[in-house]
Amino acid sequence: MCLAIPGKLEAITGQLDETFRIGKVSFDGIMKQVNLTMVPEAKVGDYVLVHVGAAIQVVDEKEARETFDILKKMGELDELEEP
């Protein structure tokens, strides 16, 4: 099953131009590098939905937290854990 996980954009870590950016996203404290090309409007502090390493949509914080909590309860976030 494929799904998008909400996370908080903590930093822009690379930028080739106004469109191609890479950012650091926190998933409940687990940090991952994410491609931000499809969400040029995203800014540090925003919540984004991430699918296969790419942010695909900026989302409301309340919605992001509710979705993340549901996924945690379902055990769907185990693969995010760092060794």
18 secondary structure, DSSP code? S
How far is residue 5's CA from residue 8's CA, in Å, rounded to a whole number?
10
Residue 63 domain-assigned (yes or no): yes
∠ CA 32-36-37, nearest 5°, is: 145
**In this structure, what CATH number is given to the domain that contains residue 38?**
2.30.30.140
Task: Convert the pLDDT of each residue in 4-17 to its tens digit.
Answer: 889 999 999 999 88
Q: Is the Cβ–Cβ distance between 34 and 13 less than 8 Å?
A: no
Residue-wise pLDDT tens digits, 20-70: 999 999 998 899 999 999 999 999 999 999 999 999 999 999 999 898 888
pTM value? 0.83
- Is 31 in contact with 81 (CB distance < 8 Å)? no
What is the domain range of residue 38?
Answer: 5-77
Q: How many domains does the chain have?
A: 1
What digits encode the pLDDT tens for the residues 41-53? Answer: 999 999 999 999 9
Residue 83 predicted with pLDDT over 50: no
